């Protein structure tokens, strides 16, 4: 039952015109996914979150103004959190690729207007959120590896 409702809600992701609306929709889907024990369904949620981070949003330019930076950063942080919480395969590799794509290009361009081709939600205002989220995930993956190695000894 929960899976059916969550999958129906996922269909509405295509009609969301706002990154904030999609984030709220994904929050509801994630709450419903707790009752669905299926890694394939989690992968669908992760892909939806990743696609939303890559998409160019009509309202994103409005939200990148200084007055709305906190709201934008909260949405980006939430989407990254959803993505990493539902991503089950090769989290370290995914994190490494995102770091390469986002952080390296951000460091290379020091002017006020930098963009990352792969991720349309990266800009001067959201860059610190991406940085913090990616390194938080990197630390989390490293801890898991250390625990796995410690358990095998």
85-134 pLDDT, tens digit per residue, is: 887 678 888 888 888 888 776 656 655 555 667 788 887 778 889 889 99
pLDDT at 132: 92
CB atoms within 10 A of CB 77: 17
pLDDT greater at residue 60 or residue 97? 97
pTM score of the predicted model: 0.80
16-39 confidence digits (pLDDT tens): 888 888 888 888 888 888 888 777
As a whole number of angstroms, the distance between CA 31 and CA 127 comes to 27
Percent share of the chain, pLDDT over 70: 83
**pLDDT bracket for residue 79 (50, 70, 90):** very high
- Quick check: 72 and 126 in contact, CB under 8 A? yes
- Helix ranges, 12-126 (H): 19-33, 39-54, 60-63, 69-86, 91-98, 105-108
Provide φ and ψ at 17, rounded to 5°: -100, -5
CA 70 vs CA 54, 61, 95, 100, 139: distances in Å: 20, 14, 24, 25, 24
pLDDT at 145: 85
pLDDT at 77: 92
């Amino acid at each position: 039952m929960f899976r059916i409702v969550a999958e129906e809600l996922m269909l509405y992701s295509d009609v969301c015109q706002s990154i904030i609306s999609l984030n709220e929709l994904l929050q509801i889907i994630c709450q419903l996914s707790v009752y669905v024990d299926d890694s394939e369904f989690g992968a669908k949620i992760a892909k939806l979150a990743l696609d939303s981070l890559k998409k160019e949003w009509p309202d994103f330019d409005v939200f990148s103004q200084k007055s709305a930076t906190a709201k934008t950063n909260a949405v980006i942080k939430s989407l990254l959190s959803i993505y990493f919480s539902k991503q089950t395969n090769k989290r370290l590799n995914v994190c490494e690729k995102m770091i390469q794509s986002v952080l390296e290009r951000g460091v290379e361009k020091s002017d006020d207007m930098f963009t990352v081709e792969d991720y349309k939600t990266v800009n001067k205002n959201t860059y610190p959120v991406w940085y913090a989220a990616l390194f938080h995930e990197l630390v989390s993956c490293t801890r898991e590896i250390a625990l796995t190695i410690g358990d095998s000894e």
